[in-house]
Amino acid sequence: MNAAVLGSPISHSLSPLLHNTAYQILGIDGNYQAIEISENELLPFIERALSQNSEDLQFWSGLNLTMPLKERVFESPYITFDARCTLIRSANTLLRDSDGFRATSTDFTAFMRLLEGAKVERVAIIGGGGTARAAIGAIADRIEHLDLILRTPSRIDAFTVIAPAANIRGLPMDTSIESYDLVINTTPSGVADNFASRLGQASGIYFESLYNPWPTELAFAWKELGGKVLNGVDLLVEQALDAIALMTESQFDYASMRQELLSVATHALHTRNS
């Protein structure tokens, strides 16, 4: 089987390491690679992947998408979207079927498992893209107050559809993040670093979606103050578990596979940063 993660930049991605490790553990003859695909190149790539006349025809069992491809993919006529990714308008996993691809969000299910049992009545999200919407979709029925810390206030409308029962506010990027049960950062590298120097206490959970760089300045500051941190490695591995199961159509023990993938990912990051 052939699978890949698409994005730009993509050279830093640990997804090939995780998926190929899982294939070895499961005894599957497969190859998972990272392919540099810009936002404007995504739709032509999908069309070529399905064309019987394409010179570079390759059968893709599955594809993963990074931002902003998780949103751009909705413009493709060759993909059917499940209810979850339709609600959040974000899809990160494409699975080949007879007529094209079907899409889902393993970000959604990863956030569900990682935040199961966590107190999430008061939530702050830094950023308003597809990953942010997946996070909110996963816990929408438990949120009472949701503050969106955004550079683009117009993105609030998408969240009111996802979490209609929540009291939602849009706040500027200089907002304090100390009074929440849960703070999730979904912005690109460096955007949230300014929060670290203004952080005086860390009472709730801080969830960092990035793993490059790792740890981020804000994640490091939160942990130094004694707060609980979930990082991008946790999210990467958790969503990979679902993607691997869906793409390979295999059943495996998530707990043991999670331990193996977290180990190889953590080792790779330590090696990269040393």
Q: φ, ψ for residue 16 (rounded to 5)?
A: -60, -40
Residues 198 and 153 in one domain: yes
* Contact in structure between 56 and 48 (CB atoms under 8 Å): yes
Provide the residue-wise pLDDT of the chain in tens; the chain has 274 residues. 899 999 999 998 999 999 999 999 999 999 999 999 999 999 999 998 887 554 555 689 999 999 889 999 999 999 999 999 999 999 999 999 888 999 999 999 999 999 999 999 999 999 999 999 999 999 999 999 999 999 876 678 889 999 999 999 999 999 999 999 999 999 988 899 999 999 999 989 999 998 888 889 999 999 999 999 998 999 999 999 999 999 999 999 999 999 999 999 999 998 887 7
Residues 115 and 221 in one domain: yes
Residues 146 and 179 in one domain: yes
For the full predicted model, state whether its pTM sits above 0.95. no
Residues 59 and 84 in one domain: yes
Cα→Cα distances 257→62, 245, 247, 262, 271, Å: 19, 11, 15, 8, 21
Residues 238 and 226 in one domain: no
Concatenated DSSP letters of the chain: -EEEEEESS-TT--HHHHHHHHHHHHT---EEEEEE--GGGHHHHHHHHH-TT-TT----SEEEE-TTHHHHGGG-TTEEE-HHHHHHT---EEEE-SSSEEEE-HHHHHHHHHTTT---SEEEEE--SHHHHHHHHHHGGG-SEEEEE-S-GGGHHHHHHH-TTSEEEEE-TT---SS-SEEEE-SPTTTTTHHHHT-----SEEEE---SSSS-HHHHHHHHTT-EEE-HHHHHHHHHHHHHHHHHT----HHHHHHHHHHHHHHHHHHHH-
Residues 50 and 155 in one domain: no
Residues 137 and 218 in one domain: yes
What is the Cα–Cα distance from 128 to 79, expressed in whole angstroms? 24
Residues 115 and 225 in one domain: yes
Residues 177 and 134 in one domain: yes
Domain range enclosing 64: 2-104+234-273
- The CATH number assigned to the domain holding 54 equals 3.40.50.10860
For residue 52, the model assigns a pLDDT of 59
Residues 22 and 130 in one domain: no
Residues 215 and 253 in one domain: no
Long-range contacts of 70-77 (CB under 8 A, 24+ apart): 70/105, 70/107, 70/129, 70/130, 70/131, 71/129, 71/130, 72/39, 72/42, 72/43, 73/42, 73/46, 73/103, 75/43, 76/42, 76/43, 76/46, 76/47, 76/101
Count CB-CB contacts under 10 A for residue 13.
21
| Structural domain count, the chain | 2
- The CATH number assigned to the domain holding 194 equals 3.40.50.720
Residues 238 and 210 in one domain: no
